[in-house]
Amino acid sequence: MERSRTQGESGASPAARTAPDRPSAPARPAAQERPAAQDRRIGPYRLITRLDPPGTAVPCRRFVARTPDGARTVLLSTPLPGTDPARFAAEATAARHLLGPWIAPVTDVAEPTGAAGVAGSADPTGSAGPTGPTGPTSPTGPTGPAWYASPYVPALPLPVALAVHGGPLPEATVRAVGAALAEALAAAHSQGLTHAGVSPAAVLLTADGPRLSCFGAVRAAAADGEPRTGLPGLDPGALAPEQASGGRPRPPGDVFALGAVLAYAATGHTVPEREELPPALREVVSSCLARDPADRPTAGALMASLAPPTAHQTVLNSAGTLLTPGWLPGRVIAALARQSAELLAAELPELPEQTVPAEHATPARA
């Protein structure tokens, strides 16, 4: 219990955690050169790097992190400062039920903290962290942060993909991304779920298709009924008018946001002039961005218009027919390969407390 509480603290306030660690450093010369940031932990994971470049507008903080034994690498999401961690955690728990090839699978969620007190969102299996020297975050720890994790695969946030490509993405890429995400939304909507977090930064591009992340960012930003304009983590261009004014997120809002994502992918911004859009996409993207939710297509209809049915498609995966070699531009693939290579080469710095947990506990108590 002692140990897990200690780690809960270190995860909650990394800066504070590293501070008491420093005085002990002279006794261990290796630790002297270690930047403080490398000791950061969230839940049972040690952080390796941020996924998003500094200074970019993101719906949630995303890191690549690793279990202390080095065995598992994950994509770890945490709430932005200024958002409600309890609502974030509740969304993460709900996102565990979202499945499908184009959804980043949530496999590991921090238990909501007692202080936040979100009733009804506790998932009895949610704290099943990986085994390792640290063990799972204490489910009752008063200061445990909210987080959830997906298995890591090389992934670029859509804005990063545009940056490495050097501008808007080719129409074939936009179409493939759009069809896959429309398919993902259609599946969620048919389950009665609304994503409520679709935005350019929430879309990750991987080698075999896009992945939707940051589930529920709109609901996490502010409760229904409160205006959401200008809140942290919300991309104003991807926020449907009815949601901006505080309306409860519903499927047409997801379709609006997806339209904004496609507009962004094809032009570089979420609110383009109609003429900027490639002619073949103008109609479909504009229809998604209709102010009146009733005028927008359903996700299913959107998928059909982006990926017209073919003879060989299967019921399970129709958007996949567009993900043939060449769907991603070369420089985006190169960036994915570089990210993969860098993370393959990344090594967790050796920590004294990693190998000898008891020694760590002693100075912490002192």
Partner 1 sequence: MLSPLTHDDPAAVATYRLLARLGSGGMGTVYLARTPGGRTVALKTVHARLATDPAFRARFRLETDAARIIGARHGAAVVDADPLAETPWLATEYVLGPPLDDAVALGGPLPEPTVRALGAALAGALAQLHSSDVVHRDLKPSNVLVTAYGPKIIDFGIARAAGDDHLTRTGAAAGTPAFMSPEQASGQEHPPAGDVFALAGVLVFAASGHGPFGTGSPADLLYRVRYAEPDLTGVPEALLPLLTACLAKDPAARPTTGDLIAHLHDGHGEFADHLPPLLLADIARRATDVWLHAPHRLPVPAGAAFAETAPSTPLSRRRALTLGSGSVLGLAGAGAGVWAWLNSRDTEGGTATGGTPTPTGPTAIPATTAADGAPAALWQQDDVLDREERITPLLAGADVVGLAETVSFRAVDTKTGSELWADSKVREPHQITTDGTNFYVSDGNFEGPGALMIRTLAARTGKETAKTITLKGIDGTTTELLAAVGSTLFTASRLGKRESDSDANQIGWHLLAVNLRTGKEAWRQPYAWDGVRPWLAQVVGDQLILGKNSGDLDTFLVQSRDVRTGRQLWKRRLPLKDSAAFKPGHLALDDRHIYLGGDRLRALRLTDGGIAWEYGSGTGSTNYGVPTVSRGIVYAQEAGDTQGIVAVRAPAGIRAWRQSPSDRPLTPEFFTAPVVGERYVYAPVRGGLNAVDPLNSRSAWVFQTDATRYVVDKERTRIIGAGESSVVAIPYA
Enclosing H/E stretch for 46: strand 45-50
Binding of partner 1 by 346 (CB under 8 A): yes
Among 70, 114, 308, 309, binds partner 1 (CB under 8 A): 70
Binding of partner 1 by 115 (CB under 8 A): no
Among 63, 88, 152, 264, binds partner 1 (CB under 8 A): 152
Among 40, 66, 175, 211, binds partner 1 (CB under 8 A): 66
Stretch that binds partner 1, among 234-242, 245-253, 270-278, 331-339 (CB under 8 A): 331-339
What count of other Cβ atoms lies within 10 Å of the Cβ of residue 298?
16
Distance CA 215, CA 150 (A): 12
Among 340, 352, 357, 359, binds partner 1 (CB under 8 A): 340
DSSP string over 111-158: PPPTTT--TT---TTTT-PPPSSS-SPPTT-TTPPP-EEEE----EEH
Q: How far is the CB of 330 from partner 1 (least distance, A)?
A: 4
Among 333, 357, 359, 361, binds partner 1 (CB under 8 A): 333
Q: Are 183 and 209 in contact (CB under 8 A)?
A: no
Q: How far is the CB of 142 from partner 1 (least distance, A)?
A: 30
Q: How far is the CB of 218 from partner 1 (least distance, A)?
A: 30
Q: How far is the CB of 325 from partner 1 (least distance, A)?
A: 4
Among 101, 328, 360, 364, binds partner 1 (CB under 8 A): 328
Q: Return the SS3 of 98.
A: coil
Stretch that binds partner 1, among 10-18, 25-33, 148-156, 266-274 (CB under 8 A): 148-156
**Which of 45, 256 has the CB closer to partner 1?**
45
Stretch that binds partner 1, among 27-35, 139-147, 242-250, 332-340 (CB under 8 A): 332-340
Q: In the window 275-314, what residues touch partner 1 (CB under 8 A)?
A: 312
Contacts of 239 (CB under 8 A, 6+ apart): 218, 228, 229, 257
Distance CA 232, CA 201 (A): 13
Amino acid in position 330: G
Reference 359, options 133, 124, 52; nearest CA is: 133
- Contact pattern for partner 1 over residues 177 through 216, marking x by CB under 8 A: -----------------------------xxx--------
Query: Tokens 């470049």 identify what position?
Result: 53
Distance CA 46, CA 278 (A): 43
Stretch that binds partner 1, among 64-72, 174-182, 247-255, 283-291 (CB under 8 A): 64-72
Structural tokens at position 263:
């507009």
Among 15, 294, 344, 366, binds partner 1 (CB under 8 A): 344
Query: Tokens 């184009």 identify what position?
Result: 102
CA 304 → CA 177, 227, 300, distances in Å?
13, 33, 6
Among 31, 116, 122, 153, binds partner 1 (CB under 8 A): 153
Please say whether the dihedral angle defined by the alpha carbons of residues 350, 353, 357 and 358, taken in this order, is positive or negative.
Answer: positive
CA 221 → CA 12, 100, 240, 241, distances in Å?
20, 25, 14, 15
Orientation of helix 279-288 relative to helix 171-190, angle to 10°: 30
Distance CA 149, CA 99 (A): 14
**Which of 70, 114 has the CB closer to partner 1?**
70
Say how many residues touch partner 1, by CB under 8 A: 34
Binding of partner 1 by 151 (CB under 8 A): yes
Binding of partner 1 by 167 (CB under 8 A): no
Among 6, 7, 10, 73, binds partner 1 (CB under 8 A): 73
Binding site for partner 1 (CB under 8 A): 66-67, 69-71, 73, 151-154, 206-208, 312, 325-326, 328, 330-331, 333-334, 336-341, 344-350
